[in-house]
Structure 1
Amino acid sequence: MTTIAFTKGHGTGNDFVLIADPDGELDLPPETVAAICDRHFGVGADGVIRAVQSRSIPDGAAALAEEPDAEWFMDYRNADGSIAEMCGNGIRVYTRFLLEEGLAELPDGSTLPIGTRGGVRDVQRSGTGFSVDLGRWALRPGEPLVSVRSLPVARPGIGITVPNPHVVIAVADEDELDSADLTVAPVLDPAPPEGANVELVLPREPLVRDGVGRIRMRVHERGSGETLSCGTGVAAAALATRHWAGRGAPSAWRVEVPGGVLGVRMFPTEDGEHVALSGPAELVFRGALEV
């Protein structure tokens, strides 16, 4: 048995177990991750984040090639042990963890590059905690039909990559959003080979107030089930709503999720439009476990 020190953290209720493994010596097979994330017999979390130096993990080579200053890599696993490209809430909590462990520094006004399987992501401090540039987003072709248990009919979704794959659908009213049964995974037709997170979105009335778009969202995450929040899903939901709203829709959004409120901002760059996510990141307790 190996004893592992861990920290529990969350971003708007999307919770993670964080483990420092700078030299990449720790073996975390999927069944171990799933056991850690089990809410009855383990620590309980939506995922596990291993803090490993980019030079100490094979996937970190691409991060260092993209940005030599990306010293740290976010090795993120879903609750079932499967690997994900990155996590928008997780990377903010990961940044808080690196800072409080004394593994990195982030002075006001500076940027901390973090390696992920979706590319290097830049994190800054913000008024609500941290802001992360999720990079370029992409509209996926087609309109898959999405069937959600307890919703009366399947409805077309819009596919968006940021860089995790998402499918976003609109619901008619508060009752539909609140009554949707996300204890089982929504069915996508056709089903993406890599799977997708599914977001249910309800525009607020009015949709725009003081130049900021406003929506509510719930999410079912592949590999984790329904979560209180999903950072890249929040960005995908805002992007989809802007797409539906058409020309004149704002580039700043306030997204309400069951775990709190997050901010989304779209902005132009030399390599295309990027989307940024901002919100809180909290560390709640430390402990040790045996694996």
Structure 2
Amino acid sequence: MKIPFFKYQGAGNDFVMVDDRTETFPQDEKQIEMICDRHFGVGADGLILLQNDDISDFKMVYFNSDGRQSTMCGNGGRCIVRFAHDLDLIQDKTVFQAIDGEHEAILNENGVELKMSNVPEVQNFENHLFLNTGSPHHIEFVQKVEDVDVKNHGKQIRYGAPYFEDGSNVNFVEITSENSLKIRTYERGVEDETLACGTGITAAVIAAFEAGKISTSEVNVSAMGGELKVKFEKNLSGGYENIWLIGPAEYVFGGEIEMKI
């Protein structure tokens, strides 16, 4: 069984996209893991299915590179919007469904602007902050992010208390000005550092504002794979809303995947 695929990337965070409006793609963990393998497959941080949805333009179903269905992926969300546009399903605006609910998005000269889920609270601990931006994120502030052993230190935190098997994404953040920061992220499910993590970038900006380390509600973020921007509003109850993740989302190449039924 041969299935067409299309590879997209957003700031180096790369995804295999499949038009699955017929819902015939075999959702087999081992096969998805093989497709995402950078030596034996297409190579990607995750695989995303675009499916029909009854109440919005389309539905996003996201799998990490370990083959398991996962929580929201911000850059994946931006890339599937570009994919839907390239399929002529949408024009410059859309509303779609993901695992964490409904998302709006806009395509313009900035790339793709994706509205993220609201964040009702940020947990502040002695050495880190924790919040959920559609996926769970552990945030640590560091003096120089280039010096961090992201893979090993991130792995220890991801599997350690209090996260254990469910795990958390782990972000190391350097504040560079009142409205900018640098970030490196260890992603669960990928089990390695990725070049950019959309929900992690969103979490880092909100955590930095909550901790008083930045002072503006529109923040520039430098990830390993490129430049993104986050804007947000803090509401009267102390949570965050009207959160937008902004950055590039581009087609890379396409082909066919040989699948076992």
TM-score (norm 1): 0.81
Match of 1:243 in 2: 210
Q: In 2, distance between residues paired with 1:84 and 1:257?
A: 22
Residues 287 and 124 of structure 1: CA distance in aligned 2, closer, same or farther (over 3 Å): same
Asked if 1:84 corresponds to 2:50, the answer is no
- Would the aligned equivalents of 1:199 and 1:237 in 2 still touch at CA under 8 Å? yes
| 1:160-210 alpha-carbon deviations (Å, 9 max, x no partner) | 11111101001122xxx2232233413243226632111100000xx22xx
Match of 1:121 in 2: 103
Q: In 1, distance between residues paired with 2:97 and 2:2?
A: 26
Amino acid paired to 2:117:
G
- Would the aligned equivalents of 1:138 and 1:162 in 2 still touch at CA under 8 Å? no
Q: In 2, distance between residues paired with 1:46 and 1:131?
A: 20
- Would the aligned equivalents of 1:264 and 1:277 in 2 still touch at CA under 8 Å? yes
Amino acid paired to 2:46:
G
Residues 183 and 193 of structure 1: CA distance in aligned 2, closer, same or farther (over 3 Å): closer
Identical positions, percent: 31
Match of 1:59 in 2: none
Match of 2:82 in 1: 96
Match of 1:276 in 2: 244
| 1:17-48 alpha-carbon deviations (Å, 9 max, x no partner) | 00111021211211111100000110000000
Q: In 2, distance between residues paired with 1:41 and 1:186?
A: 27
| 1:268 CA drift (Å) | 5.7
TM-score (norm 2): 0.90
| Matching residue within 161, 179, 183 for 1:217 | 183
CA RMSD after TM alignment: 2.0
Asked if 1:158 corresponds to 2:132, the answer is no
**Partner SS for 2:201:** helix
Asked if 1:256 corresponds to 2:222, the answer is yes
| 1:267 CA drift (Å) | 2.5
Amino acid paired to 2:51:
V
- Taking the TM superposition and a 5 Å limit, the aligned residue runs for 1:145-224 are 156-173=127-144, 177-184=145-152, 185-187=155-157, 188-191=160-163, 194-204=166-176, 207-208=177-178, 213-224=179-190
Residues 96 and 23 of structure 1: CA distance in aligned 2, closer, same or farther (over 3 Å): same
- Taking the TM superposition and a 5 Å limit, the aligned residue runs for 1:6-155 are 6-55=5-54, 68=55, 70-102=56-88, 104-107=89-92, 111-141=93-123, 143=125
- Would the aligned equivalents of 2:129 and 2:140 in 1 still touch at CA under 8 Å? yes
Q: In 2, distance between residues paired with 1:105 and 1:23?
A: 18
Gaps of 5+ in 2: none
Amino acid paired to 2:210:
H
Residues 272 and 234 of structure 1: CA distance in aligned 2, closer, same or farther (over 3 Å): closer
Q: In 1, distance between residues paired with 2:240 and 2:149?
A: 37
Q: Which moved more, 1:263-272 or 1:120-129?
A: 263-272
**Partner SS for 1:4:** strand
Q: In 2, distance between residues paired with 1:15 and 1:135?
A: 22
Q: In 2, distance between residues paired with 1:278 and 1:272?
A: 17
- Would the aligned equivalents of 2:57 and 2:94 in 1 still touch at CA under 8 Å? no
- Would the aligned equivalents of 2:73 and 2:134 in 1 still touch at CA under 8 Å? no
- Would the aligned equivalents of 1:139 and 1:159 in 2 still touch at CA under 8 Å? no
Match of 1:58 in 2: none
| 1:256 CA drift (Å) | 0.2
Q: In 1, distance between residues paired with 2:10 and 2:40?
A: 23
